[in-house]
Every structure is written in structure tokens, then in C-alpha cells.
Amino acid sequence: MYLLIPSAGIGKRMGGTRNKLLLEVRSQAIIAWTLKAAAAASTIKWIGIISQPCDWPEFKDIIADLNLTKPVEFIAGGDTRQESVYNGLQALPATAEHVLIHDGARCLATPDLLDSCAEAIRQCSGLIAAVPVKDTIKVVDDHGIIQSTPDRRQLWAAQTPQGFNVKLLKECHAQGVRQGWEVTDDAALFEKCGIEVQIVPGEETNLKITTPQDLAIAEFILSNRE
């Protein structure tokens, strides 16, 4: 299985001016934990890191320290996640039929989750890891007035990995460029193109590191695992 890791963002909500994946959790960079999970996943055979070239020297040092045995390719990122994934798709080896896309900031995903998504994508066109929403959700207008309360039983919180048929995902990205679509994940492109996307049970601990508070939570989770 081929794995693309979008890692090109700065992370303004983290309050920094550098790539947030270089911040440390338990004395290792966030991206290091993501790569360790990918390295331990038995199905992952190739890793593509999509990031800005200015971060490559530090990323390469991290990879050297991890002694990864799986091939790792560096791919120049774009101005948005969507552009970065588009670039990543063009850089996949010609033999790639399926791909997993996993946000570098989701450093708590386990090898088991990566493997389960890799196995499932062989049986469908597209999938995402997701967990059922626990809270009651309110739809609110621009004035802060509640408009409706969706049925929680039909709501799932999207995570990554997300898996896709490479040919179909390339076609969806190309159509997105032509139509000027702006989406926050690749599953949304499939939805816009009318292609079904399945759910694979995610992990409650598979949070995305976005704020300083998330770093503290990640520290706690990793401490418990060790």
C-alpha cells in the first residue's frame, strides 16, 4: 500500500511560524510519531511526505534518526491541503492502484488502523476512518441562533487515514481544479463527483494536533501507551 502524508502546513492555531509537525511530543517530533506508525504497519510499503522544501532537511534528519527501512519520497506541497494532495498523487509510482492519505498531524493513529484501512480499500472505491459523534450537534446561523438539531445517530467525525482508488481520485482532483472546488478532505471530492465513500471505524485517540492543548493530550495518550 502507498501512503501519502500531507505535512505542508504551518499550523497558525498552534501560535507558531514553523511547521507544527516539527514540534515535539515526548521528546520526538510530531511527524516522527506518524512515521513510526507507518513503519510499523505491515501493509505500508511506500511513504510520500508532502511538505514545503524548506522543511526537508529537518524531516530528513528525523527519518535518519528513525532508521526507517521503507522508501520515503519527498514531494513539494501546495498552498492548500487540496493542492498538496494533488501534487502527491502525481508523484505516486505508476504501479499504485490504491493510496492511503493520512494527515501528518494525526500522530496518534495506530499501525492497526493504517492496516485496517489498507485492507478495506481493496474492496471499495473510497473510505475514511471516522468515529460516531458523541455530543449533540446544533446547526447555527450567522447570528448565533440555533436552526436545527441533526440526528446524532447519523453523524460521524471524519479522521484520516482516507483511502481511495488512485485513478478515481486523480479524476476527482482534476475535476475539482476545473470546477474551482475547495474542499477540506479528499472524501469531499468523491462526494461531489457522486462516488460512494465508506466508513471504517476510527480510533477515539486519533486526534489531530491543532492547538497547544492537543499537544498535552497527545503527551498523555503516548505516556499511557508506553
Candidates 8, 91, 14, 86; CA nearest to 46 is 91
DSSP character at residue 215? H
Q: If you average pLDDT over residues 25-40, what whole number do you get?
A: 96
pLDDT score of 196 more than 80: yes
Domain holding 217: CATH number?
Answer: 3.90.550.10
pLDDT score of 135 more than 80: yes
Helix, strand, or coil (residue 140): strand
Number of domains in the chain: 1
Q: If you average pLDDT over residues 194-215, what whole number do you get?
A: 96
- Strand residue runs (E) in the chain: 2-6, 24-25, 28-29, 46-51, 72-76, 98-101, 126-132, 139-140, 146-148, 156-165, 198-201
> What's the predicted TM-score (pTM) here?
0.93
pLDDT band for position 10 (50/70/90)?
A: low
pLDDT of residue 226: 78
What's the domain range around 59?
2-224
